[in-house]
């Protein structure tokens, strides 16, 4: 009896592990580069985390969703599932782990509150827009068209502008003046290279993770809402954990908030603008979108009230994510 692993499966495992290793190394360097830029520009770390870091770590979601919408016209809901699944994963799993490792000690209310309002406003826009469109086929309850897609992209531009304009309200940028700081050109180069490595690593994980999941009989629907969302969110996971370990919690928290906004503004907005048709299923509209909003509220509102995070909050978020994954698996009939 032979217990050898087929060559195709062996290389799938190797590439999966290679993607994981690439993301771990790149995530560490990405945080270092972002903090160096914040120091050089003398701006609060949360601003860098909510803009530059968030955009870099959201690149995998943007690629997967745009490719799904363009290449699989019969399944445009993959874009929505990836975006909303990533928000739930970012908030409940990744932020939960971050708070368990090192709870946020001081939350800047001015910085977090307006971003939370921006998130809620975008979620409401998506919900109302889908409700106002007629079903486009069996299994769908509505869609996001090209006009709303353009509005979402413009929303991203407004968010980036406001983040820069209101950076002074995000708190003082307190840095040790005697500390040796990486040159700006070096930080920018490291940021670009690390973002590219995160991009490649996440795609290796997603593609080979899907192959492994199918090899053990996991249904496609479960893969879409868990494996793809988790795989494309791994850059946020590594960035948040690395930031927490290094005592740069503002970078990690800002990254989660910014990445969640980008998931709605760009991961949904770009495919909608390109194809003019990003479909929503009933599950996406009535379950995933409300859960994404609930998860963000469970993360942010207690922090705004207490001005800090806690391990209890992190544990509850993590349990919520586990429950969501279990429900998705059971509901799929697997």
Strands (E), 31-189: 140-144
Which structure tokens are listed for 62? 């943007």
Half-sphere exposure of 41 (CA within 13 A, CB side): 19
- Residue 2 within a domain: no
- Residue 128 within a domain: yes
Q: From the centroid of its chain, how far is CA 188?
A: 22
Query: How far apart, in whole angstroms, are the C-alpha atoms of residue 90 and residue 202?
Result: 15
Which structure tokens are listed for 162? 């406001």
Residue 278 three-state SS: strand
- Residue 249 within a domain: yes
Query: How far apart, in whole angstroms, are the C-alpha atoms of residue 19 and residue 123?
Result: 32
- Tokens 């509150």: give the residue: 113
Query: How far apart, in whole angstroms, are the C-alpha atoms of residue 148 and residue 127?
Result: 11
Average pLDDT for consecutive 10-residue bins of the chain (334 residues)?
A: 59 83 76 76 68 69 67 57 86 88 79 89 95 78 91 91 67 52 86 82 73 68 65 71 67 77 88 85 89 94 87 92 84 61
| Per-residue pLDDT at 332 | 63
Query: How far apart, in whole angstroms, are the C-alpha atoms of residue 173 and residue 40?
Result: 10
Query: How far apart, in whole angstroms, are the C-alpha atoms of residue 136 and residue 113?
Result: 36
Domain carrying residue 68: 7-171+181-331
CA distances (Å), origin 275, targets 59, 126, 137, 278: 19, 17, 16, 7
Q: From the centroid of its chain, how far is CA 279?
A: 20
**Number of domains comprising the chain:** 1
- Residue 1 within a domain: no
Exposed, middle or buried: residue 69 (CB in 10 Å: 0-12, 13-18, 19+)?
buried
- Residue 238 within a domain: yes
Half-sphere exposure of 320 (CA within 13 A, CB side): 24
Kindly report whether the global pTM for this prediction surpasses the value 0.85.
Answer: no
| Per-residue pLDDT at 122 | 95
Q: From the centroid of its chain, how far is CA 10?
A: 29
Strands (E), 67-114: none
| Per-residue pLDDT at 218 | 64
- Residue 176 within a domain: no
Q: From the centroid of its chain, how far is CA 16?
A: 20
| Per-residue pLDDT at 41 | 76
| Per-residue pLDDT at 1 | 39
Q: What is the CATH number of the domain that holds 287?
A: 1.20.1420.30
CB crowding 18-42: b at 16 or more within 10 Å, else e: bbbebbeebbbbbbbbbbbbbbeee
| Per-residue pLDDT at 4 | 47
| Per-residue pLDDT at 3 | 41
φ/ψ of residue 253, rounded to 5? -65, -45
- Residue 152 within a domain: yes
Which among 283, 9, 303 has a CA at the least distance from the CA of 140?
A: 283
Cβ–Cβ < 8 Å for 281, 275: no
- Residue 195 within a domain: yes
């Amino acid at each position: 009896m032979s217990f050898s692993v087929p060559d195709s499966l062996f290389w799938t495992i190797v590439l999966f592990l290679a993607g994981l290793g690439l993301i771990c190394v790149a995530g560490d360097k990405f945080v270092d580069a972002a903090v160096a830029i914040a120091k050089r520009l003398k701006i609060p770390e949360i601003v860098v985390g909510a803009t530059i870091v968030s955009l870099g770590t959201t690149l995998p979601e943007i690629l997967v969703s745009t490719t799904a919408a363009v290449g699989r016209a019969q399944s445009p809901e993959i874009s929505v599932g990836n975006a909303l699944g990533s928000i739930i994963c970012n908030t409940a799993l990744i932020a939960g782990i971050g708070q368990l490792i090192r709870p946020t000690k001081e939350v800047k209310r001015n910085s977090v509150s307006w971003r939370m309002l921006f998130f809620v406003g975008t979620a409401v826009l998506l919900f109302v827009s889908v409700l106002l469109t007629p079903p486009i086929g069996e299994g769908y309850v509505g869609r996001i068209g090209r006009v709303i897609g353009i509005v979402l992209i413009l929303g991203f531009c407004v968010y980036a502008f406001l983040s820069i304009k209101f950076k002074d309200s995000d708190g003082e940028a307190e840095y040790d003046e005697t500390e040796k700081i990486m040159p700006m050109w070096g930080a920018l180069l490291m940021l670009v290279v690390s973002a590219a490595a995160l991009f490649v690593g996440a795609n290796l994980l997603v593609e080979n993770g899907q192959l492994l999941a199918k090899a053990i009989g996991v249904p496609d629907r479960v893969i879409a809402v868990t494996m793809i969302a988790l795989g494309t969110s791994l850059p946020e996971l590594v960035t948040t954990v690395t930031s927490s370990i290094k005592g740069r919690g503002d970078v990690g928290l800002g990254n989660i908030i910014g990445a969640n906004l980008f998931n709605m503004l760009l991961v949904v907005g770009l495919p909608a603008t390109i194809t003019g048709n990003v479909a929503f299923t009933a599950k996406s509209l009535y379950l995933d979108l409300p859960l994404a909003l609930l998860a963000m509220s469970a993360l942010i509102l207690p922090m705004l009230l207490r001005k800090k995070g806690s391990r209890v909050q992190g544990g509850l978020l993590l349990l919520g994510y586990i429950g969501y994954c279990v429900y998705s698996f059971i509901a799929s009939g697997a």
